[in-house]
Chain A
Amino acid sequence: MADLQDEPHSVGVGAEDLPVPAGPETKASALDRAAALLSVHPVADGCNTLVWTLRQSPYHDIETPDAGVDTDIPRLRAGGVGAQFWSLLVPPQGRAGEDEAGDQVVSDTLEQIDAALTLVRRYPDSLRLALSADDMADARNRGRIASFLGPVPGRALAGSLGALRAFHALGVRILAPAGAPWAQETLTAFGHEVVHEANRLAILLDLTGCEPAAARRLAGASKAPVIISNTAAAALNPHPGNVPDEVLLAVREANGLVMVTFDSARTGDSLHAVADHLDHVRAVAGPEGVGLGAAFGAEPPVVRPSGLTDPSGYPRLIAELLDRGWPESDLALLTWGNAQRVIRDAEFTARRKASPAGV
């Protein structure tokens, strides 16, 4: 639906007014160009786990930088982040002190949603709850970081579409099937129902962590684009969390989006290594299928690639990609356009499902 793209694939009006460095022979440095680009096409990042981290150690004020956690508002601002998917996944062991793993995943997920809503409400000058692609554009126009809730874990559905609709009513817009009993090697009949209902509600499916076979089936079953919110290319690094080219192609086929993480274990430990993964994903999934999902929001000692240790690093990464010859139109897709497109496409799919003619 390229004709419905919200943004022209180029640097917008504001960038033309940027100061041009003196001297006819010097052009703007790549970093300046990156900053200019991000001011118009900010980063829509697919994964940040701050909500869980703050629940474990609630003594952070994210309005002030703190070495204890890698995400705060000043660094999100410095990095040019304009939209964030706040992951609400619950570690498999669930609530501390519970004997039966998983018995608390529904309440834990409701607690994650509550904590995320509280976070957004606490920083109204910086964060703005986003429920739709329109909200995403609206937040950017107001200089706020559009905050999407999700993914929630698929196993929190506990066999119940009522729970999925409750999560949607509470503001959740992304669901991660990985680990759910209905999305293992095969997609069960209930799994198909979940995909159908997620499509009907415009909830994006995040295939991060799914086995390649399950990922392909989910991508095939979904009528709306799917995403992989934080991953890297297995072709470059055969880490179990990275996706093979067959999955990249399946996502491309489904007009989906693969968002590349910044994690030394998966991408390699330099900014260049991350750029290599982005090159590869762009080559295989296409310029319209590549995005950013750093998966910040953790406490040390998660090892990050040098230069990308916190959200303030995005402009350096964009500068590197400019140096590698990425056209600005592709960069605009990478940072913002693709994420906005998949959300809007999911909304179109939902509307089509809601209208009898589209059945």
Chain B
Amino acid sequence: MKTATTGALSNGRYWIAHNSGVLTAVVLFVAMFTLYISNHSAGLTPAVATTAANKAVLLALVAMAQTLPVLTRGLDLSVGMVFVMANCIASVIVVGTVGEGMLGIVAVLLIGALAGFINGAIVVWGRLQPIITTLATGAVYYGISLFVRPGPGGDVQSDIADLLTGQLFNTVPAALVVLLVVVLVVWIPYRRSVLGRAAYAVGSNEQAAYMSGVPVQKAKLLAYTLAGVLASVAGLMLTFNTYSGEASAPIAGTYTLNSIAAVVIGGTSLFGGWGSAIGSIFGAFVLRTIEDLLFVFDLPPLWQPLFQGVVLLLAVSLGAFRILRVRNRLELFS
């Protein structure tokens, strides 16, 4: 296991080295967001911040979901589909009074957990590769989304939706509070739990973790299940933003792929065992701010996809700096 929480703060240099990936993403985001705000005609008003937050929190939650399987050296290509499925189901059952809406939210979260658990069960007990498993279950979840909502539409409980996508005390974007609550209620306890640390161990070296008595299977099951829960939280937030549901394969695909990019930009290793969901949040913020920057700088619309692609490629290429650090060429073949 490459991480140690105790005594990390007492050794500042160690802490910085350990979190360099997250810090890079944070610095990148702050720099880009400052550039964005300073060029925005309205400046940093609560309305501008809320719009930015509502968009960014969706990808941040999906990226957090992606982080958990990646830490165990897995991958979840179905996060986007679970996200869309939660969106479609929420647009059907999160309706009525506030109480009924809350029940609906709980149901959607349970469905997300079940979807993630199925992924985990096939990976753990079926012993199939995560990539191909989640590719196939993603198709199933997309089919269910289409079944629930053949065409775009639906509705959502508007009181809850307005509360969660508006502003708290007219200043703080509520979506950011939701994200903070998710971090405090899901990520921090998970990171400190036995199974959370086991996930890092499994990602570092599954064989060694198994020999050391680490609960490998439980750790993987929990990682995929929580990924399903987080993806469905994102799906709920999407529903609250759009007041409708849509079974869209392009949206699902974009979120899946961007979530992987956000995870990498946030300093998490795709080879497992290294990184954190906090980094992924800022990775997602960076990706979102790129789009906003293109908007304020008035780039010709035709150039935007190319610019976005080049920035994405450069951002993920930052990982290439590790080849300067290796002492032995054989370390490269991981």
Answer yes or no: do A and B interact.
no
